[in-house]
Structure 1
């Protein structure tokens, strides 16, 4: 009972801290919201009380505290000494919080020791406040210069066997798309974030139910043919292949870049996505071409109502994507 009350308390505090950052009228209040957000997510990351989660929490605290100190220093210089064009320094500290290139290597190593709920919060909810703060800067040239450094991240995800690290690299890739969407139109990046969060939630929920942590475990994933098709469609969707819903979030940005004649940036983003497909193709191989082997730990948490519910949502979003496109 006390643990449930503690979870509710810190989840509400996490929600309040993000709302504080979004609704603030000055940079100091936004910084306070970021700090409150950091102090509220640390107990959430330690609910399972394992030595790996404690180590990951300490890493997360040190990195976020260092980024917050840099951000506060740059904000003080901007407000007191009126340094011109130091938006790039502020963006660099926020990129460290978002785990973007070249400050991205801490996220895959940190996320390996956390449970799936904490991983989902790090890859979705924790990105809202820094992205909102970057959108307030309106520094187009600086953002384009910095985002070009992101295109090295697919190289680090090609040889990964851990699904957590693959999802972390996918999060870094999709955050770069969100930054470009924010540069073009605020509505596009909000829709992109909502669709990506929904897909991430559905995939992480399935992986958490069956305790799947590595790609090699997918060869034992022999529950149900239709449920395997469901997971297969979710992977296709987060890959961004048509006609899935994940393609819609990328198609909105590609269409906007075409209208603004930013063909080089559009080509670079498409090449980046094609390079990231290799990580997901390895997962799809074990789902489609398994060896009909299974172990008992996959059957201990059966919930057929949940299976039907996730399959309904997954197939419904397939037809919903057609409605948006046409």
Structure 2
């Protein structure tokens, strides 16, 4: 068996809530790319052993879908043409040190794409995603942010690590020391949103495949904002309890059962999500000043806009008159 044919040539490694799903979908439409049929297998988060027993809301349920056996992971690429560029995307690979180590050791010729987003905007979107889905028990973003250490100590999965997921400087410095910067393409979320054709061509050039073949990325699958209150409290508790029970059945059965609860939670809610207050953002961004400086030094690129007290908002807000971030 050709073992090269059974492993990826390129991986989108991060960051969560930074457009990785949109980039994966866009690249999957390129005829020279074979994208893994499971977009986020999480294989390199494990070590040929079951995933850690994470304990956050919904974690046990979601872990049923992790692919941790080597033969199952290789099977994802079994149907790829010999000449195709094989693509896999798991946005937590950049974050976790043991994943970076495995990538460097086990994929000595692979290339890596990191899509990074303003760390405060990314964290707020991350919290919003989990809150709107009824999994986040904390209705206040800052309180959830401040609970991070407690949650990590309690064994909550990486998607709950709102602050640490955005420390790209530390993560990229470690990965580049292992594989070299020439094998890493760093993109900004704003480039993917505001200049999709240029950005996709840049990716294709990095991969050595034809340009001007894919020209757009799908809009993110946004949900209406859920106002805090009695309905959010009651239905959120129901979803979290159901998700824990759902870990005992196949994931697709729980998703089907939970659909009407999510619909009820989001029914009649405002489509526009509230922006993070400038004074809150200004306070939180100070926690990233050292990491932003490290990122700028590593990539020789300015990220001064990330130090602003004004965020850039969601996908739809970024495609309006002002698009930055």
TM > 0.5 fold call: no
TM-score (norm: length of structure 2):
0.30
Q: Report which of the two has the higher share of helix.
A: 1
Q: Give the TM-score of the pair, scaled to structure 1.
A: 0.30
**Could you say which structure has the greater relative contact order, defined with CA pairs below 8 angstroms and 6 or more residues apart?**
2
Q: Which has the higher strand share?
A: 2
